[in-house]
Homo-oligomer: A and B are copies of this chain.
């Protein structure tokens, strides 16, 4: 079962994890990304491409399901203005096997970072505003799965 959510609302990590667990298997991996306080970050604004976002996330989930024996995949990504410490993204995967759950969770995050149409704009505590640039390490992490 694939669950995709994109919106301004926050998510409940425990509830989403248990929902995936409820689909069977006994191995559930999750990843949560939050707005990281790096000292002078005030807030983050997440823009996305509404007509494409869910479709792109679903494709990533389907790719994971075709590669690993999974019972369920949940991807939730927030958009809009987010303060330091707020949740941004949640990925949960459920399988009979821990390797499959953990690897597919890692795969989904790596692909999401380079394929899902989201853009982050950061506002610093001094008021400076900047669009975050693509990181080479994210591109490499995403490409390694295509080997």
CB of B33 within 8 A of CB of A31, answer no
CB of A28 within 8 A of CB of B17, answer no
Residues in B with CB closer than 8 Å to A109 are: 98, 102
CB of B24 within 8 A of CB of A32, answer no
**Interface bracket on A:** 20 to 34
Q: Which residue of B is nearest A28, CB measured?
A: B32
Q: Which residue of B is nearest A27, CB measured?
A: B33
Contact of A13 among B13, B34, B99 (CB under 8 A): B13
**Could you give 15 example pairs across A and B, Cβ below 8 Å?**
A13-B14, A14-B14, A14-B17, A21-B85, A27-B36, A28-B34, A29-B31, A29-B32, A29-B105, A30-B30, A30-B32, A31-B98, A31-B101, A98-B109, A102-B106
A25 to B17, CA, bound (A): 21
Interface residues of A in 1-57 (CB under 8 A from B): 12-15, 17-18, 21, 24-37
CB of B26 within 8 A of CB of A36, answer yes
Contact status of A26 and B17, CB under 8 A, knowing A99-B141, A106-B102? no
Q: A13-B14, A28-B31, A31-B101 are in contact. List 4 more A-B contacts (CB 8 A).
A: A12-B14, A21-B34, A26-B33, A99-B106
